[in-house]
């Protein structure tokens, strides 16, 4: 073996039913006295409950998908005016993304409290959009100092969004198996994350308030994000970042829709990844396992359902080709990428 693996410095606290206690403990460890709370208006009640035991100087609720630059600028200015010394973000990937955008320029430490399975809370990756282009990067300043996971906060997440968000997490697992910095350690994390997500998500569909299902999905989402943070962005994420920024497609649903087509595209030339997924799903092949899971979950099927049109494919192909990893298992060109996007647009059956 010959590889380099980097582990992110971060405290993780699983505290089902006690997010408020976990947040108070983490803020206490930071010694923060002027906390900026970032949470969308829809998460206001949860955020107030979770942050009841800390000194809040500002509650900021301008949260927008894909973090437009102007939204980030206003949040940074608000943090400066309030003289905040820490951030608590309560919500999904867009909320965590905004907290990261503030931390990127201010250096403020973040305590993240996820309410979806997005995984952004466990990575040092930031992303912002401007002029229909999404720019991403990595910086240690944006990695939350601590994450408080409370599965009970997921009870209010509708089943369809739970499925999309969970499959977004699964995409982190799959992409980590062939991303530019893939190695045996993050592959092991990704495989266990896929197993946990495949176990937990069907339980959530059957009973949205099933604690075990929610905990398994949350545990899997965390492992998925850690694997992704180490391995980097593979072809799947490069495709979805272009589509999300350029066409303002919903993040989780886009990932959930594109995933099976990227797996089918790469699987013939990624035998190690296929074997790990086969084992994780307990299926004859990784592709068969993913398809069976998607069927059980009634997963999103077609990008056209979210506003992507066949006429958008040529421009999308041009942008994706500029960022597609050279190390992708199946070499990417304009023709095979266009076929992949056409299939994902239509929701075609995968052979």
Give the pLDDT confidence score for residue 237 in this predicted structure: 95
Give the pLDDT confidence score for residue 8 in this predicted structure: 86
Residue 5 lies in a domain: no
Q: What is the CATH number of the domain that holds 132?
A: 3.40.50.1970
* Domain co-membership, 149 together with 167: no
Q: Which residues, 6 or more positions from 154, have their beta carbon under 8 angstroms from its beta carbon?
A: 115, 116, 117, 162, 214, 217, 218
* Domain co-membership, 138 together with 182: no
Distance CA 34, CA 23 (A): 14
Average pLDDT over residues 225-230: 94
* Domain co-membership, 163 together with 150: no
Residue 99 lies in a domain: yes
Query: pLDDT tens digit string along 83-105?
Result: 999 999 999 999 999 999 999 99
Query: pLDDT tens digit string along 166-181?
Result: 999 999 999 999 999 9
* Domain co-membership, 178 together with 268: yes
Question: How remote is the C-alpha of 314 from its chain's centroid?
Answer: 26
- Closest Cα partner for 66 from 100, 110, 116? 100
Give the pLDDT confidence score for residue 14 in this predicted structure: 95
Out of 154, 180, 205, a domain closes at: 154
Indicate the average pLDDT of the chain.
Answer: 96
Q: Residue 30 above 80 pLDDT?
A: yes
* Domain co-membership, 30 together with 118: yes
Average pLDDT over residues 238-255: 94
Q: What is the CATH number of the domain that holds 254?
A: 1.20.1090.10
Give the pLDDT confidence score for residue 2 in this predicted structure: 87
Out of 120, 154, 188, a domain closes at: 154
* Domain co-membership, 168 together with 148: no
CB-CB contact of 126 with 75 (8 Å): no
* Domain co-membership, 176 together with 309: yes
Domain hosting 30: range is 11-154
Residue 253 lies in a domain: yes
Give the pLDDT confidence score for residue 267 in this predicted structure: 95
Distance between the two ends of the chain, CA-based, in angstroms? 35
Give the pLDDT confidence score for residue 197 in this predicted structure: 98
Average pLDDT over residues 71-85: 98
Give the pLDDT confidence score for residue 52 in this predicted structure: 96
* Count of domains for the chain: 2
Which of 133-137, 153-157, 174-178, 318-322 shows the lowest mean pLDDT across its residues? Answer: 133-137
* Domain co-membership, 129 together with 31: yes
Give the pLDDT confidence score for residue 215 in this predicted structure: 97
* Domain co-membership, 193 together with 265: yes
Query: Rounded to two decimals, what is the model's pTM?
Result: 0.92
Q: Residue 351 above 80 pLDDT?
A: no
Residue 4 lies in a domain: no
């Amino acid at each position: 073996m010959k590889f380099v693996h980097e582990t992110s410095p971060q405290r993780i606290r699983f505290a089902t039913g006690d997010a408020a206690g976990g947040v108070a403990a983490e803020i206490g460890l930071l010694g923060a006295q002027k906390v900026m709370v970032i949470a969308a208006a829809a998460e206001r009640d949860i955020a107030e409950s979770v942050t009841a035991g800390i000194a809040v100087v500002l509650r900021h609720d301008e949260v927008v998908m894909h973090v437009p630059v102007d939204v980030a600028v206003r949040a940074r200015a608000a943090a400066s005016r309030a003289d905040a010394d820490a951030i608590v973000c309560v919500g999904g990937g867009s909320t965590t993304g905004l907290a990261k955008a503030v931390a990127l320029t201010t250096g403020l430490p973040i305590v993240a409290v996820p309410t979806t399975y997005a995984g952004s809370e466990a990575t040092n990756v930031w992303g912002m959009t401007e002029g229909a282009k999404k720019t991403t990067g990595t910086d240690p300043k944006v990695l939350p100092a601590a994450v408080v996971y409370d599965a009970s906060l997921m009870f209010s997440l509708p089943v369809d969004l739970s499925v999309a968000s969970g499959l977004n997490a699964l995409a982190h697992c799959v992409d980590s198996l062939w991303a530019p910095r893939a190695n045996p350690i993050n592959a092991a994390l990704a495989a266990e994350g896929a197993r946990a997500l495949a176990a937990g998500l069907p339980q959530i569909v059957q009973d949205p308030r099933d604690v075990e299902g929610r905990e398994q999905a949350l545990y899997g989402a965390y492992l998925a994000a850690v694997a992704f943070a180490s391995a980097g962005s593979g072809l799947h994420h490069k495709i979805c970042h272009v589509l999300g920024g350029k066409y303002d497609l919903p993040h989780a649903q886009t990932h959930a829709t594109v995933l099976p087509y990227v797996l089918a595209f790469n699987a013939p030339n990624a035998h190690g990844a296929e074997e790990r997924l086969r084992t994780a799903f307990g299926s004859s092949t990784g592709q068969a396992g993913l398809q069976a899971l998607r069927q059980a979950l009634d997963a999103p099927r077609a990008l056209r359902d979210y506003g992507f049109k066949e006429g958008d494919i040529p421009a999308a192909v041009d942008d994706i080709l500029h960022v597609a990893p050279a190390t992708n298992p199946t070499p990417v060109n304009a023709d095979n990428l266009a076929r992949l996007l056409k299939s994902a647009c239509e929701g075609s059956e995968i052979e």
